[in-house]
């Protein structure tokens, strides 16, 4: 285990109780779950972390403009679960290998977040698998496939501060209005992009755990509390970030955190 990997594991362990259900409306949202054959749709994305000059970076991609879904948008490597995948972690690793040529032996998994909700036209479970780079940057041979237009690294602390690069908007989501965070970032050797939606939320959540620091703006994240397959409903719970100096309720996001 590398020093950096242990540092990240310790950071997640330290903050393991710092996501707690909001006191009001603990079972606030019931959304219809769309099924795909044998069961609910699931997806996983891989957040690869590395350290450089005392700063922590995450690997991200720009989706190809030729794709039908979310063309040209920034995201983590990842995709839909395959029936042959042995675990949701396997899904994230397989998709990253296909999309950016990241070998699964080049990373070490830290943890997997509880599923969150993704999708506007359809609802699916999305898992974030966090890992660290186990090789040096010059040992990587990252190459985009036809689903990826560009590969880049972004500093995680970018998602904890507000300023000209950050703004919030209230957007409709089913029968709700949710606060959505937008981050404008100039990708080196590419162009300026806007990171928003679930990708921005997952970046903020990861940065919070890594740095033990809540964003300097209001932030609420929803995880899936339960799935009711008989009624095809998905129950979401809002979570709030608890600063390290506040009293921790003791509720943990899952056994791995």
Q: What is the pLDDT of residues 115-144, one digit of tens each?
A: 887 765 566 788 999 999 999 999 999 999
d(CA 88, CA 96): 13
d(CA 17, CA 182): 27
pLDDT of residue 218: 77
pLDDT by residue (tens digit) across 26-74?
Answer: 444 445 554 444 456 889 999 999 999 999 999 999 999 888 777 899 9
Tokens 């990241």 found at: 102
Q: Is the dihedral of CA 35, 47, 172, 234 positive or negative?
A: positive
- What's the pTM value of the predicted model, to 2 decimals? 0.84
DSSP state at residue 214: -
Mean pLDDT comparison of 4-18, 129-143, 211-225, highest-scoring range = 129-143
d(CA 110, CA 5): 8
Q: Are 102 and 125 in contact (CB under 8 A)?
A: no
User: Is 69 exposed, middle or buried, given 0-12, 13-18 or 19+ CB atoms closer than 10 A?
Assistant: exposed
Q: Are 165 and 196 in contact (CB under 8 A)?
A: no
């Amino acid at each position: 285990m590398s020093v950096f990997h242990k540092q990240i594991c310790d950071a997640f362990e330290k903050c393991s109780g710092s996501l707690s259900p909001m006191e009001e409306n603990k079972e606030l949202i019931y959304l219809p779950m769309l099924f795909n054959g044998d069961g609910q749709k699931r997806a996983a994305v891989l957040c690869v972390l590395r350290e450089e000059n005392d700063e922590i970076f995450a690997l991200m991609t720009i989706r190809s403009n030729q794709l039908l879904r979310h063309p040209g948008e920034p995201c983590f490597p990842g995709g839909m679960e395959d029936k042959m995948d042995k675990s949701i972690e396997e899904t994230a690793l397989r998709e990253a290998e296909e999309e950016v040529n990241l070998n699964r032996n080049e990373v070490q998994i830290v943890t997997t977040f509880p599923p969150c909700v993704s999708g506007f036209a359809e609802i699916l479970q999305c898992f974030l698998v966090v890992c660290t780079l186990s090789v040096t940057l010059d040992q990587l041979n990252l190459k985009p496939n036809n689903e990826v237009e560009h590969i880049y690294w972004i500093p995680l602390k970018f998602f904890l501060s507000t300023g000209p690069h950050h703004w919030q908007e209230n957007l409709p989501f089913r029968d709700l209005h949710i606060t959505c965070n937008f981050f404008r970032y100039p990708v080196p050797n590419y162009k300026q992009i806007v990171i928003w939606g679930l990708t921005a939320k997952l970046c903020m959540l990861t940065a919070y755990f890594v740095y033990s620091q809540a964003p300097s703006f209001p932030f609420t994240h929803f995880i899936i509390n339960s799935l009711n397959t008989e009624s095809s409903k998905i129950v979401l719970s809002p979570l709030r970030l608890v600063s390290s100096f506040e009293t921790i309720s003791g509720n943990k996001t899952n056994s791995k955190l």
